[in-house]
Amino acid sequence: MKVGILGGGQLGRMLALAGLPLGVRCWVLDPSPEAPARAVATHICADYHDRSALEQLAQTVDVITYEFENVPVASANALAERRPVYPSPRALEVSQDRLSEKTFFQELGIPTPRFRSVDTLEGLRSAVEWIGLPAVLKTRRFGYDGKGQYLIRERDDLERAWVVLGGVPLILEEFIAFERELSVLAVRARTGEIRCYPLVENYHREGILRRSLAPAPRTPSALQERAERYARAILEALDYIGVLALELFERHGELLANEMAPRVHNSGHWTIEGAVTSQFENHLRAIVGWPLGPTEARGQCAMLNIIGEIPKIEALLQIPGAHVHLYGKSPRPGRKLGHVTLCEHSEELLVPQLTALQKLLP
């Protein structure tokens, strides 16, 4: 079975690694000659708009997927005329624009922070009137890892926010003083079967995911059920095939949808060692039309990202049960270079390992 992936970053790399034992070989299309996935997949080094590269990919593989959501929809649509593209390009379209994404959530009855489209400074002023402060001004498109966002705390920030971000379509969102950030990963097979992983508790700093705890500690089953209901609604509305991540805020026992990612997700990396079937394997199983694997957790897990620089590997491996995953990327401030997963039988056993690991990953 041959799978094409738009994007050859660490997600593409881990997809290809998961595919190898299953007899699934991957081809990645990525403009970077340093694409991390090239170590385990055939690399087509070209721009995402490159017609002949897209044609080469379509000719080679049986099915096509993507590992990041800013793939050009036109390219995905062109490929979809030649080969199955999962998740469908419609999922890309929805998630590439924060306005259409939040509108889509609302149409499905999934609660979100209040939001309003902003195109002018005047529009920003009136959106602030309606939403209140603090509020977050965001570009509607191409935001990731906290980029393209401005937190407006008071009225005086308003013009500065406009200077920084104005000129492209924007959205103003209510700032949520959440208790926790959570995410749910779900996977839908070609048969329509859906499986959900346990809720994950995430901690971001400077807009970048730093740590995930899975299953999210002290989580009532009602919360898990609600998150699964939301994920199912999205998967079914989009006739979605593959893994989807839905990021949520928890506040006063409620869940508010923040955003979705139509792909495998950083908050699911713990599933490699921590779940019966990893998100990467289940995504592949879904898109090639194979049965899904169990999504149960195998213990209490923590995943920490390695960001900016890599500590000495000997020090990381000294921590009993630390599973180290490096992506083969050169260090750069704020760049995700790898992650470490811990998986123990209980939270009590996990805490000392996590404390030791956090000292190495400041």
**Residue 134 touching a second copy (CB under 8 A):** no
Nearer of residues 39 and 164 to a second copy, judged by Cβ: 39
**Residue 23 touching a second copy (CB under 8 A):** yes
Nearer of residues 139 and 212 to a second copy, judged by Cβ: 212
Q: State the minimum distance, in angstroms, from the CB of residue 359 to a second copy.
A: 16
Residue pair 276/295 in contact by the 8 Å Cβ criterion: yes
Window contacting a second copy (CB under 8 A); options: 20-28, 51-59, 113-121, 197-205: 20-28
**Residue 352 touching a second copy (CB under 8 A):** no
Window contacting a second copy (CB under 8 A); options: 95-103, 235-243, 254-262, 318-326: 318-326
DSSP code for 290: P
Site string for a second copy, 89-128 (x = CB under 8 A): ----------------------------------------
**Residue 251 touching a second copy (CB under 8 A):** no
**Residue 276 touching a second copy (CB under 8 A):** yes
What's the CA gap between 331 and 299, in Å, rounded?
31
DSSP code for 51: H
What's the CA gap between 33 and 198, in Å, rounded?
36
**Residue 307 touching a second copy (CB under 8 A):** no
Nearer of residues 20 and 74 to a second copy, judged by Cβ: 20
Helices (H) and strands (E) counted in the chain, each on its own, are 12, 17
Kindly report the backbone phi and psi dihedral angles of residue 132, in degrees, each rounded to the nearest multiple of 5, phi listed first: 90, 175
What's the CA gap between 187 and 284, in Å, rounded?
10
Q: By CB under 8 A, how many residues form the interface with a second copy?
A: 29
Contacts of 306 (CB under 8 A, 6+ apart): 326, 336, 337, 338, 339, 340, 361
Nearer of residues 180 and 329 to a second copy, judged by Cβ: 329
Nearer of residues 151 and 276 to a second copy, judged by Cβ: 276
Kindly report the backbone phi and psi dihedral angles of residue 139, in degrees, each rounded to the nearest multiple of 5, phi listed first: -70, 145
75-78, Cβ contacts within 8 angstroms, sequence gap of 24 or more: 75/6, 75/48, 75/49, 76/6, 78/51, 78/54
Window contacting a second copy (CB under 8 A); options: 88-96, 128-136, 244-252, 322-330: 322-330
3-state helix, strand, coil in the chain (%, to 5): 35, 30, 35
Nearer of residues 78 and 326 to a second copy, judged by Cβ: 326
Residue ranges in contact with a second copy by CB under 8 A? 17, 20-23, 25, 39-40, 276-277, 285, 290-291, 293-294, 298-299, 313-314, 317-318, 320-326, 328
